[in-house]
A = this chain, B = another copy of it.
Amino acid sequence: MASNFGQLFRISTWGESHGGGVGVVVDGCPSKVALTEKDIQVDLDRRRPGQSKIVTPRKEADQCEILSGVFQGKTLGTPIAILVRNTDARPEAYTEMQTMFRPSHADFTYQSKYGIRNWEGGGRSSARETIGRVAAAAVAKQYFKQVLPKLEVVAYVKQVHKLVANADPHEVSFKEIESNIVRWPDANDAERVIKLIEKVRKQGDSVGGIIECVIRNAPVGLGEPVFDRMEADLGKAMLSLPASKGFEIGSGFGCTTLKGSEHNDEFYMAKGRVRTRSNRSGGVQGGITNGEDIVFRVAFKPVATLIQAQKTVTIDGKNATLKARGRHDPCVLPRAVPMVEAMANLVLVDHYLRQKAVS
């Protein structure tokens, strides 16, 4: 297990979907940052189950408690421990998981690696694990409010199954995204996506999609070549999210169809600043931010747990058929939006502090 992330703004997450709870310890957050539980709760609420009709109905308030590191509303510079209790656990809905492996889920690999697993729900592989990430990122966001007030990290659902959103990453607004339950950047177009997800849910099936994220007004100079390039750390962060299968930045996989003369971003001067006319680089050149918008996309597969019969094997190596019960998201994308934002904030804050150290 490696549940630590970040070098200077270091987080340690913990917790299973069923058990005492989930949480995080944030070490390395600068002192004197304004922080209350409310600042964290707002993002946990965007992530929590039961928030709309298209997500899992598991009833979790996901109420957070700050256990340390804050005094009279300010961070102390000491570790910030945040706890969220599990309240609506229903292990009885998972009894068949005790002996059977869900196809494309983590059951088999956890069992193989650890020789044991908490079969009551997804255990550590549950998306519930991301609560700690979202809480930690909320702390980072409070710090950024102080030191980079213009920084914006905005994620949204770009694609669900074959439905693609019309969205300009440089223009899309947080308000519009949050105005609809899919977190679709073109709110007027959201209804057809909602309908698709509802239909899929009724079929006991699931769909995947793509989340796009834009970071605006990041400083020039973040990213640490050669291994901790900005795109490498963003990529790792996103690919560490449950169900992610791909990451691309700027032109991404589409870069292959252009020649260098078509792909290069020309430099020009604007208001005394070096700018690029196009942004196929996605805001990063040579692994370091260039001041343009950072734009990247993350592919999420359809949720593995289905309310359909599937062929599988048992823990004793026998062929079997599994039809899951439990409460599951038919489409992870709407709730993955705050997770993507969270990981982006965590990468940024760590690189911001790393650059501050040497400049």
Chain A contact residues, CB within 8 Å of chain B: 1-5, 7-8, 10, 12-16, 19-23, 25, 27-32, 65-71, 74, 76-81, 83, 101, 103-110, 112-118, 123-125, 129, 159-162, 200, 205-210, 220-221, 223-229, 231-240, 242, 244-253, 255-261, 263-269, 272, 274, 276, 280-282, 284-290, 299-304, 306, 308, 310-313, 317-319, 353-359
Contact = CB atoms under 8 A, between A and B. Distances in A.
A304 B207 CA distance: 37
B264 A310 contact: yes
Contacts of A207: 256, 259-260
A290 to B, nearest CB: 5
Contact of A313 (B3, B76, B268): B268
Given A67-B15, A68-B22, A259-B161, A265 B104 contact: yes
Given A12-B4, A15-B81, A226-B240, A256 B68 contact: no
Q: What copy number does this chain have within its complex? A: 4
Contact of A354 (B265, B313, B357): B357
A11 to B, nearest CB: 9
Contacts of A357: 8, 353-354, 356-357
Given A23-B67, A288-B110, A299-B255, A226 B76 contact: no
B3 A226 contact: yes
Contacts of A236: 227, 232-233, 235-236, 239
A249 B250 CA distance: 19
A108 B83 CA distance: 31
Given A74-B116, A357-B8, A239 B245 contact: no
B106 A261 contact: no
Contact of A124 (B21, B76, B244): B76
A253 B218 CA distance: 27
Q: What 9 A-B pairs come out closest when comparing CB atoms?
A: A106-B286, A246-B248, A206-B260, A236-B236, A20-B67, A260-B302, A109-B288, A14-B79, A357-B357
Contact of A161 (B116, B257, B264, B313): B257
A319 B112 CA distance: 48
- The CB with the most chain B CB atoms within 10 A, among A81, A115, A242, A253, is that of A81
Contacts of A109: 220-221, 223, 284-290
B116 A2 contact: no
Contacts of A280: 104, 301
Contacts of A252: 245-246, 299
